[in-house]
Amino acid sequence: MSSDLAIDPGDLGGTGPASTREEGLGEDVVANRSTTQLVLARLRADKVAIASAATIVIISLAAIFAPLIAGAVGHGPNTQYLQTGLSPSGIPLPPNATFWFGTDDLGRDVFVRVVYGARISLLVGVAATGISITVGVVVGLLAGYYGSVVDTVLARSMDVVLSLPYLVFALALVSIVGPSLWISILVIAFFSWATVGRVVRGQALMLKEREFVEAARSIGTSDLRIMFVEILPNVMGPVIVYATLLIPAAIVFEATLSFLGLGVVPPTPSWGNMLAESLPFFSVAWWFVVFPGAALLLTTLAFNLLGDSVRDALDLSDR
């Protein structure tokens, strides 16, 4: 867990090779395309990006339509099927025609719980990322544009957050205020905004000296308009890449908190608390731990691979 949220800002610059991204595209076609068109063309030509995006879409649709899926299967996420979901000796049932992913120690349908767990993971990933990106962008723009005392105070604040052993502080904070879904989201966002803030600050420091910013100042454009209309669009590339990398990190962070009993409160299904519940039974009920773990692995891997593809697609230095 120590490296889950420690994303190197240097990786966001898009310095990866792009020799294969325009395979099949003529030089004249590439030269005449806009930046957005070229990026989309590169992503469409990237089989890993397509596969990753398709995986994320499927998982997202499963999460959105979880109640419909549960209704079609005929099982609720928290319903205990003590008669049909457990063996006579009380052992969870393996995957079968009735329970596709088997059952857990309380006779609940693991498949339905995994599908509902996707709702928690995606909500935490998207919400925590949205909050941290918003805070990081605002703080980074203010620090980079104004400089001087403002930059010193905000930059040191980012350094303090980045220096904290976030897992230890997160566990301490959640244990004090009590576990809940939204507390987990806020804790993850608190320990995530500083890195994107540093990325945006560095870009703002460089861009505020460019000619288009000087021209905007010369005609009396307000500071807020310069920051959010002139500078912000030029830093969105690294921000988008960071967002795609932060979502899986947030999902793993939430799973860790839930695994330790400080995240989503049972019986609400979460991949983390499902893994925690499966520990006493992994030797006799492998499916209880394999399917939630596989869902967590597949989701985070898809987001990470998509983030790498987006970073490469945004590398326009070879255009």
Write down the pLDDT at residue 174: 80
Q: Give percent of the chain above pLDDT 70.
A: 88
Write down the pLDDT at residue 238: 86
Average of per-residue pLDDT across 118-143? 94
The confidence band for 316, taking pLDDT boundaries of 50, 70 and 90, is low
Domain ranges of the chain: 31-313
Write down the pLDDT at residue 319: 46
Residue 204, pLDDT > 80, answer yes
Average of per-residue pLDDT across 102-128? 93
Mean pLDDT of the chain: 85
Q: Is the whole-model pTM more than 0.85? A: no
Fold adopted by 31-313: MetI-like fold (1.10.3720)
DSSP secondary structure of the chain = -TTSS---GGGGG--S--TTTTTT--HHHHHHS-HHHHHHHHHHH-HHHHHHHHHHHHHHHHHHTHHHHHHHHT--SS---TTTSB-TTSPBPPS-SSSTT-B-TTS-BHHHHHHHHHHHHHHHHHHHHHHHHHHHHHHHHHHHHH-HHHHHHHHHHHHHHHHS-HHHHHHHHHHHH---HHHHHHHHHHTTHHHHHHHHHHHHHHHTTSHHHHHHHHTT--HHHIIIIIIGGGGHHHHHHHHHHHHHHHHHHHHHHHHTTSSSPTTS--HHHHHHHHGGGTTT-HHHHHHHHHHHHHHHHHHHHHHHHHHHHT--TT-
Residue 25, pLDDT > 50, answer no
The confidence band for 125, taking pLDDT boundaries of 50, 70 and 90, is very high
Greater confidence (200 vs 18) lies with 200
Write down the pLDDT at residue 62: 94
